[in-house]
Amino acid sequence: MAEALKNIYNHDLILKIANEISKVYSDFNRDTFIEKIFDEKWEEKTLKERMRHITISLGETLPNHFEEAIEILTKIKGQFPENSLSSIFFPDFVEVYGLESWERSMEALELFTQHSTSEFAVRPFIVLDQERMMAQMLKWSTSSNEHVRRLASEGCRPKLPWGMVLKNLKIDPTPILPILENLKEDESLYVRKSVANNLNDISKDHPNLVLELAKEWYGKNPHTNWIIKHACRTLLKKGNKEALTIFGFQSTEAITIANFQLYTDQIKIGEDLNFSFEILSSAPSPTKIRIEFVIDYVKSKGNRSKKIFKISENTIEKNKTLTYNKVHSFKDLSTRKHYPGQHSISLFINGLESGTKDFFLE
């Protein structure tokens, strides 16, 4: 079994923090800090709770003046793994204690994001003064450092996972667009993924805005094309006709599904569902197709919930047959628990349902 993610904040890391601070701050009470960390609730704390507990314990043992405390943390930052979750306590300290020291906090967040990520820590600053913070992030979007450019996009995602929802930007995302405009042709895949995820967030509340942007941007640059395709993934999964048309997935009148079959109509939780089907085309010219299947899951209270899974994107020529053999697992996951009952599986071609089969999960 994989070790719990929260255990990146472990005894060795806490000792390292204490030891490194002691080297640059002679008045640091190392033993008090360690004692505060390993209180009676430490083992119960989640990943985020441990991170915040480290931050608060630092706040209680470092100098009360923010500028002095952040100077100490700045000196030790290079002693910890780069781009690691274990280093997020650095920007978290800024989030908790730096809201009234704006300029110094901006310097620290820009520095710390190059070693971990400040995407969560910038969000309270956006809530405090959105105009000022978005201006700062627009400036960051032109940085020579890919981590800083990514922060400009990732930090203002309206619905960042694990982060607070930015309600004002969720209602009106237009202040985000100049930042994404600067990053739409970025050479870094790390940055491009963030831009795409930001736009995907926006598409859930403002689909027309993202569709108009997609039409304007698509076809002008390979990097931008990748961003737009990834940004429209939720719209494509929902079968949005405009989104499908942008990427060439149009009429399926000449496309048919044949020999759709399940190898069994009854499986147990933990087993696999095996199914196969064929796709045929009578269209006069090659047709782009996006193939998906949908499982209609039974939930704990007997209600149903559909989840879409992409199979592939392909091009089929006239009088050609594409054959697919697929396997879908019904093992319980941390993100999905299965329940017994009558389920169904449906095939979709370019957003349109093309066949359904029922099966029983026991």
CA distance 91 to 79: 15
CA 98 to chain centre: 26
Angle at alpha carbon of residue 207, lines to 202 and 354, rounded to 5°: 120
The burial of 300, by beta-carbon neighbours within 10 Å (0-12 exposed, 13-18 middle, 19 or more buried), is given as exposed
pTM passes above 0.85 = yes
pLDDT at residue 78, rounded to an integer: 86
Domains plus CATH for the chain?
5-246 (1.25.40.290), 255-361 (2.60.40.10)
pLDDT at residue 1, rounded to an integer: 46
pLDDT at residue 54, rounded to an integer: 96
High-pLDDT (> 70) share of the chain, %: 99
The tokens of 329 are what? 């697992």
pLDDT in tens, the chain (362 residues): 456 888 889 999 999 999 999 999 999 999 999 999 999 999 999 999 999 999 999 999 999 999 999 999 999 998 887 777 889 999 999 999 999 999 999 999 999 999 899 999 999 999 999 999 999 999 999 999 999 999 999 999 999 998 999 999 999 999 999 999 999 999 999 999 999 999 999 999 999 999 999 999 999 999 999 999 999 999 999 999 999 999 999 888 889 999 999 999 999 999 999 999 999 998 888 999 999 999 999 998 888 999 999 999 999 998 889 999 999 999 998 788 999 999 999 999 999 998 999 999 99
